[in-house]
């Protein structure tokens, strides 16, 4: 039986695989751009020139980059028997939605989607090990 746990955020994913009692950890970086909107007034005077910020352009780019990131994660876990997804923020939920929308064979293998703080690699391994021992 091959059990897999993925801790992920927008920057990277730690994939822990436990098969026949042997643990392996593989890290995938996301290449998602982090942008900061620079906009607003170009002058300190009221009614001065305004910069128009194209928010949707940045959000669309981030969406496409996340889709690529999720595709690479899905290809890494396609042969797993059981899967748990965890991590901070909303990225784990977005990945779960992506699996439900585009990777139907994997959705039956998902055992849980959990919220978890930032962790070291050893903490991630221990978390996955404990999850599959208790389930």
More confident residue, 53 or 130: 130
Please say if the pLDDT value at position 72 is more than 90.
yes
- Check residue 49 and give its pLDDT: 55
pTM: 0.84
* Backbone dihedral angles phi then psi of residue 84, each to the nearest 5 degrees: -125, 135
Distance of alpha carbon 115 from alpha carbon 95, whole angstroms: 13
Catalogue all structural domains in the chain, each as residue range(s) with its CATH number. 2-134 (3.30.420.60)
> What would the pLDDT profile of 43-54 be if each residue is shown by its tens digit?
555 665 555 556
Q: 63 falls in which pLDDT band (50, 70, 90)?
A: very high
> What would the pLDDT profile of 74-107 be if each residue is shown by its tens digit?
999 999 999 999 999 899 999 999 999 999 999 9
Distance of alpha carbon 106 from alpha carbon 112, whole angstroms: 12
More confident residue, 135 or 65: 65
- Check residue 135 and give its pLDDT: 83
- Check residue 43 and give its pLDDT: 54
Centroid of chain to Cα 56: 21
- Check residue 33 and give its pLDDT: 85
- Residue with tokens 């990777």, as numbered in its chain: 103
- Check residue 59 and give its pLDDT: 85
As a residue count, the chain comes to 135
Pinpoint the alpha helices (H) of the chain.
55-76, 91-102, 104-107, 121-134
Distance of alpha carbon 3 from alpha carbon 71, whole angstroms: 19
Residue 16 near residue 24 (C-beta atoms within 8 A):
yes
């Amino acid at each position: 039986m091959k059990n897999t746990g993925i801790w992920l955020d927008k920057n990277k994913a730690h994939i822990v695989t436990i098969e026949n009692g042997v643990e392996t950890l593989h890290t995938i970086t996301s290449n998602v751009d982090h942008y900061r909107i620079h906009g607003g007034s170009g002058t300190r005077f009221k009614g001065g020139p305004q910069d128009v910020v194209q928010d949707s352009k940045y959000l669309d780019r981030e969406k496409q980059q996340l889709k690529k990131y999720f595709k690479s994660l899905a290809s890494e876990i396609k042969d797993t028997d059981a899967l748990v997804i965890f991590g901070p923020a909303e990225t784990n939920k977005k990945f779960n939605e992506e699996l439900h929308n585009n990777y139907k064979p994997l959705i039956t293998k998902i055992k849980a989607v959990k919220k978890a703080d930032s962790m070291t690699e050893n903490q991630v391994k221990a978390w996955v090990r404990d999850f599959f021992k208790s389930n």
